[in-house]
Amino acid sequence: MSLTKQLWLAVIAIMTLAFGISFLVSAWSAKGYLEDQLRLKNSDNANSLALSMSQIEKDPVLIELLLSAQFDIGHYKQIKLTSPDGKVMMERVSDAVADTVPAWFVEMIPLHTEPGIAQVQDGWRQYGTLTVLSHNRFAYQALWQGNLRLLGWFLASALLCGAIGTLILRSITRPLAEVVKQAEAIGARRFITIAEPRTREFRSVVRAMNALSGQVRSMLEEESARLEQLRRDAQHDALTGLLNREHFLKKIQYALQDENSATTGALFILRLPDLIRMNKELGRETTDRLLKRVAGALQESCPDEPCLIGRLNGADFAVLAPDVESVDELAQRISARARLSINDPSAAEEHVVLLGAAVYRHGDAVSQVLSHADMALNRAVLEGGSAVEAGNLNIEWKPAASLVSAWQSLIETALNLKRVQFATYPVLNGQGQLIHYEAPARMQIIQSSMWISAQEFMPWASRLGLTERIDEAVFDYALVWLESNEGPVCINVSPQTVCDPVLTTRYYQALKRRQNLAQKLWIDIPEFVAYRHAREFRVFCDTLKSLGCKIGLEHVGNQICHVGELYDVGLDYLKIDSAIIRDIDQSPGNQTFLRGVCTIAHTMGMMTIAEGVLNQQEAGCLKELGFKGMTGPGIVLG
Amino acid sequence: MLNYRPFVGKLGPWKAIFFLLFGASVAFAGVELDRLLQLAGQRYGDSGVASVNAWRDLLTETSNQPDTAKLRRVNDFFNRRIHFGDDSDIWGKRDYWATPLETLGRAQGDCEDFAIAKYVTLKLLGIPSDKMRLTYVKARIGGPQSSLVQAHMVLSYYPAPNDEPLVLDNLISDIRPASRRADLTTIFGFNAEGLWVGGVAPRAASPSQRLSKWQAVLTRMREEGID
C-alpha cells in the first residue's frame, strides 16, 4: 500500500476516534447542562404557577384556566395538580412532537429531567401539589443539530488534514522516488549517481548507493583501461602504435565487404627500402625513432577518421583511405611528409621513400587490391618516388549523376511499395538455442523482382540521406513480422535514427500500443554512436528500454576501452566485431582481450555475442572465452 | 474521637466522661456533631460551642418524645436562646438566610433563620418534611386594630394533609393553630423537599444551586455537617 493511502487511513482513523471522543464528551456535558436547565425551569415554573394559584380564589374553573394558560403558551410535557391526599385534580399532557431527531440518538443520550414540584395554598390550608415537567424534545433537537454540525466540522477537517498531509508527504517522498529509481537502476546494473536529497535518511541511502556506483564505475574504468592495453597488444604494432599487419588486413577486408563502408577508396603502401642499411649505420635506437616519426607523419597526413594506418612489416607501412577526394594529391602529401620525417636537411645523403597506391571499389578482393598496390610500388621504384595504380583506368571517383538518380528512384520505389524488408539469420546461445534473429535489411528491385542485400543499397541510401526511411520501413516490417512469427528479432538502427527525436517518439508510440511485441524486439546500434552521440543515445535507450526492448551495440571493438562510460545506460548486449572474432582460436592476444571484454560486460550486466563466426573451432573457443551468443556463416539453427 | 479533645475542658469532666461513654448513642443520623462543634469553636468561640452543645442536648432529650412535645421543646429552645435581629445588623446584608449553626453560633437571627433552624431541628428529630411548610405571611403588628404590617416567615406544621396547621412563630412563644393567628395572612408556603426536586439532593458541583437562597442554605448546611 502506498504511503499516501496509509496516511489517509491514519487520518480517517484518528478523525473517527477524535469525533467519537468529542461526541461523547460534548454529548455528556450537554446532557448534564440540559438536565440542569430543565430541572431549574421545571422547579421555577412550578413555584411561580403555584404562587399565582395561591393568591387567587380557589375556583376550580379559574385554577384550571390558569393551568391551561401556562401549559398552552409554554413548552411542557405535563402539568398536573394533585390534591393533598394524592388524587389528580387536573392534568395536561402534550402530544408527541414530530421532529428530525432519530430514535437511536434519544436512546443513546437519555435526558432525565426531574419535575418541578410546588405547593398551592388555600389560606392556611393546603390546596394541592403542582407538578410541572417541561418538554425535552427541544433539548434533543438542539443536541442533535449540534452534533450534526460537529460531524460536519470533523469531516471538513479530516479532508483538510488529509489534503495537507498528502502534500507534505509528497514533498517528503519526492526524493524517495529518485532513490527508488536509483536502486532499481543499480539492480539493472546501471550504475547511476544522483544528487543527495535533503532528508537525512534518504541522504545516507543515496550516499551509499552513489558510493557503490562510484566504486563500480572506477572499477569499470580500470578494467577498460586494462582491456585497451590488451587490445593494443593484440592489434597494434608495439613500436609505432599503428595497426599490426594481421589486424590491418582484417580491416581492409571489412572495408571492402561491409555494407556501411564507402563505395570506393585507395590503399597506399609506403616502403623504406633503406631500412636495413639505416639500421646498420645509425643503430637500432635511431632507426626506431625514425620509424616512429614516419608513423607520426602518416597520421598527420591522414587526419580523417575513416583512414586506417598500419605497419605491414619492418619497412612497409600502409594507409587505407576510403572515399578519398584525390588519390594523387593524398599520395603526394603522404610521400612528401614521410620523406621529410626521416631526412635531415643538412645530411648529404637522402633516405629514399617509395609510395604505391591502388584504387579499390567496394566488393573487390583483398588480394587483388594488395597486388595492385604492389604493382604501383614496383612502378614507383622505377619512376623514383610514388606511383598510383588505378586498376581500371575508367574508374569514376564521383558516380555519374544518372547512377545517383537511378538508385534514388530504385530505393524510393521500394520504400513506397513496402519492398524494404529483412532477411533473418539466427543468433544462438552456447546450447544451440535461439537468442534472436539477426535481421539485416534487404530491398526488392521492382523491375527484376530481385532482392538485393543491404551491402549493395545501404551505401547509396546513406549518400542519398534515406537511411532513416529505410530504418523506419524495417521497423514497421519487424512489427508485422513479429505478429506472425515467434522468435525475437533484432533490427539495425542507423546513427541518424538514434539522433532523431521525432523518429524515436514514433518508435515509442508504435511499441507502446503493442507492448507484447516490444518485449521481442532487439535493436542493434553501431558502437561509435554510443560515444559520439552520447546524449541522444541515452535518450533513445531510456525511451525504448522502458517498453521492454533490448538494446545493444554492434561491431564492438575499436572503442571497447570506453565501455566503462556506459555504466549508466544498462545495455543488454554487446556484439563483438567479426574483425576481432576472425580466427580467434589462433590468436592468443585477441583471446586474452576478449576474455577481458566478457568479464567487464558481465559485470555491467551485458551479454556478449560474437559476430561473423565461421566455424566450430571459432565457436568452441568463443564459448570457452565466455561468449553467450554467436552468429555468422558458421552458426546454423538446429 | 480525637476531635473532641480540645473541647473536653469546656464540657466539664462529668459530661466528658458521659460523652466518651455514650458518645455513640447521642449521635444523630444526618448530623456530624464533631464537625459542628469544631466549626462552632473556630468561628464563634466558647459561646458558640455552648450553643451547639445545648442544641445537641435538645436533640438527645427530645428524640424519643411525641411530636407535639418535640414541636414545643424546639420552638421554646430557639425562641428563648436566639435573639431577634435584622439581617442587616447581623450579617450586614439586606436579606440573608442563615444556617442553624450560624444562627446558634451568633445566638441571633431574623424570622427566616428561626423558621429554618426549627425546620432542620424537627426534621433531624424525625418529623417528616412533608408535614412542614416554610410559610411567607403578612404579619399585622400591634394588635387587631393596628395598620402596621410586616413581611414575616413562620414554620407551619400539618398533622394531616387536610388539617389546619400549627404555627411555630418567633413573635410569640406559644404554638397556636392557624385559626388563632388572625394577625397572620398566608401568602405562599413551600415544602422544602419540593425545592429539592423530587427528594434528590442537589449536586454541590452544580452552580445553579447557589442561585436560590434556600438551596444556598442547604448547601452551606451540608458543608457544616448537617445533611
CATH code of A305's domain = 3.30.70.270
In a shared domain, residues A341 and A457: no
* DSSP one-letter string for A59-89: -HHHHHHHHHHHHHHS-EEEEEEE-TTS-EE
Query: Does the pLDDT at position A196 exceed 60?
Result: yes
User: For A24, what's the count of Cα atoms within 13 Å in the CB-facing half-sphere?
Assistant: 5
pLDDT of residue A393: 39
> Does the beta-carbon distance from B188 to A129 stay under 8 Å?
no
Q: Which of A359, A391, A423 represents a domain boundary (last residue)?
A: A391
A118 inside 8 A of chain B by CB? yes
Structure confidence at residue B70 as a pLDDT band (50, 70, 90): very high
Give the residue-averaged pLDDT of A127-133. Answer: 91
pLDDT of residue B8: 40
* A611 DSSP 8-state letter: S
Q: Is residue A186 part of a domain?
A: no
pLDDT digits (tens, 9 = 90+) for A595-606: 988 988 888 889
* CATH (domain of A545): 3.20.20.450
What is the b/e burial string over A313-323, where b = at least 16 CB atoms within 10 angstroms of the residue's CB?
eebbbbbbbbb
Query: Does the pLDDT at position B19 exceed 70?
Result: no
In a shared domain, residues A375 and A473: no
* Cβ within 8 Å of residue A117, ≥6 positions away: A43, A46, A129, A130, A131, A132, B191, B194, B197, B198
Q: Which of A391, A422, A443 represents a domain boundary (last residue)?
A: A391
A43 inside 8 A of chain B by CB? yes
pLDDT digits (tens, 9 = 90+) for B25-56: 445 667 888 888 889 899 988 888 999 999 99
Neighbours of B5 (CB within 10 A): 9
pLDDT of residue A283: 85
pLDDT of residue A399: 56
> Does the beta-carbon distance from B195 to A40 stay under 8 Å?
no
Query: Does the pLDDT at position B6 exceed 70?
Result: no
AA identity, residue B103: T
pLDDT digits (tens, 9 = 90+) for A298-326: 888 887 767 889 998 888 899 988 877 77
pLDDT of residue A37: 86
Give the separation between CA A308 and CA A557, rounded to whole angstroms.
Answer: 14
A55 inside 8 A of chain B by CB? yes
pLDDT digits (tens, 9 = 90+) for A92-119: 998 777 678 888 888 888 888 888 888 8
Give the residue-averaged pLDDT of A558-578. Answer: 86
In a shared domain, residues A299 and A350: yes
pLDDT digits (tens, 9 = 90+) for A478-529: 999 999 988 899 999 999 899 999 999 999 999 999 888 899 999 999 998 9
A126 inside 8 A of chain B by CB? yes
Name the strands in the sheet holding A420-422, side by side, starting at the edge strand that comes first in the sequence. Answer: A420-422, A441-445, A450-453
Query: Does the pLDDT at position B87 exceed 90?
Result: no
Q: Is residue A453 part of a domain?
A: yes
Could you give the C-alpha distances from A8 to A155, A163, A328, A579, in angstroms and in order? 13, 9, 81, 62
Structure confidence at residue A394 as a pLDDT band (50, 70, 90): very low
A576 is in which domain, residue-wise? 401-630
Give the separation between CA B114 and CA B203, rounded to whole angstroms.
Answer: 26
Could you give the C-alpha distances from B181 to A25, A140, B23, B136, B151, in angstroms and in order? 56, 50, 41, 14, 15
Chain A, chain B: beta-carbon pairs less than 8 Å apart: 61
pLDDT of residue B195: 55
Give the separation between CA A202 and CA A517, rounded to whole angstroms.
Answer: 37
User: Among the listed ranges A41-45, A390-394, A410-414, B210-214, which one has the minimum average pLDDT value?
Assistant: A390-394
Give the residue-averaged pLDDT of A137-149. Answer: 87
Query: Does the pLDDT at position A402 exceed 70?
Result: yes
pLDDT digits (tens, 9 = 90+) for A524-543: 999 989 988 999 999 999 99
pLDDT of residue A523: 94
pLDDT of residue A471: 92
Q: State whether the Cα torsion A530-A535-A537-A542 is positive or negative.
A: positive
pLDDT of residue A224: 84
Q: Is residue A76 part of a domain?
A: yes
Q: Is residue A175 part of a domain?
A: no
Q: What are phi and psi of A248, to 5 degrees?
A: -65, -40
* A547 DSSP 8-state letter: T
- For A267, left (φ over 0), alpha (ψ -120 to 50), or beta? beta
> Does the beta-carbon distance from B197 to A117 stay under 8 Å?
yes
In a shared domain, residues A601 and A561: yes
Give the separation between CA A89 and CA A137, rounded to whole angstroms.
Answer: 26
Share of chain A above pLDDT 90, in %: 21
In a shared domain, residues A440 and A485: yes
Average pLDDT of every residue of chain B: 79
Q: Is residue A240 part of a domain?
A: no
Structure confidence at residue B196 as a pLDDT band (50, 70, 90): very low
In a shared domain, residues A427 and A303: no
* CATH (domain of A63): 3.30.450
Q: Is residue A183 part of a domain?
A: no
pLDDT of residue A256: 82
In a shared domain, residues A295 and A443: no
> Do the interacting molecules here have an ipTM over 0.90?
no
In a shared domain, residues A111 and A139: yes
In a shared domain, residues A313 and A416: no
Q: Is residue A458 part of a domain?
A: yes
In a shared domain, residues A424 and A303: no
User: Among the listed ranges A25-39, A72-86, B17-31, which one has the minimum average pLDDT value?
Assistant: B17-31
In a shared domain, residues A328 and A416: no
Q: Which of A334, A364, A391 represents a domain boundary (last residue)?
A: A391
If interface means Cβ-Cβ distance under 8 Å, which residues of chain B face chain A? 133, 135, 156, 158, 161-162, 164-165, 178-179, 186-191, 194-195, 197-198, 200, 206, 208, 211
Query: Does the pLDDT at position B212 exceed 90?
Result: no
Structure confidence at residue A259 as a pLDDT band (50, 70, 90): low
Give the residue-averaged pLDDT of A441-447. Answer: 88
In a shared domain, residues A280 and A355: yes
Neighbours of B180 (CB within 10 A): 12
Query: Does the pLDDT at position B17 exceed 60?
Result: no
Neighbours of A395 (CB within 10 A): 12
Q: Is residue A342 part of a domain?
A: yes
| pTM, rounded to two decimals | 0.54
How many structural domains are present in chain A?
Answer: 3
Query: Does the pLDDT at position A476 exceed 60?
Result: yes
Give the separation between CA A160 and CA A166, rounded to whole angstroms.
Answer: 10
Average pLDDT of every residue of chain A: 86
Neighbours of A50 (CB within 10 A): 26
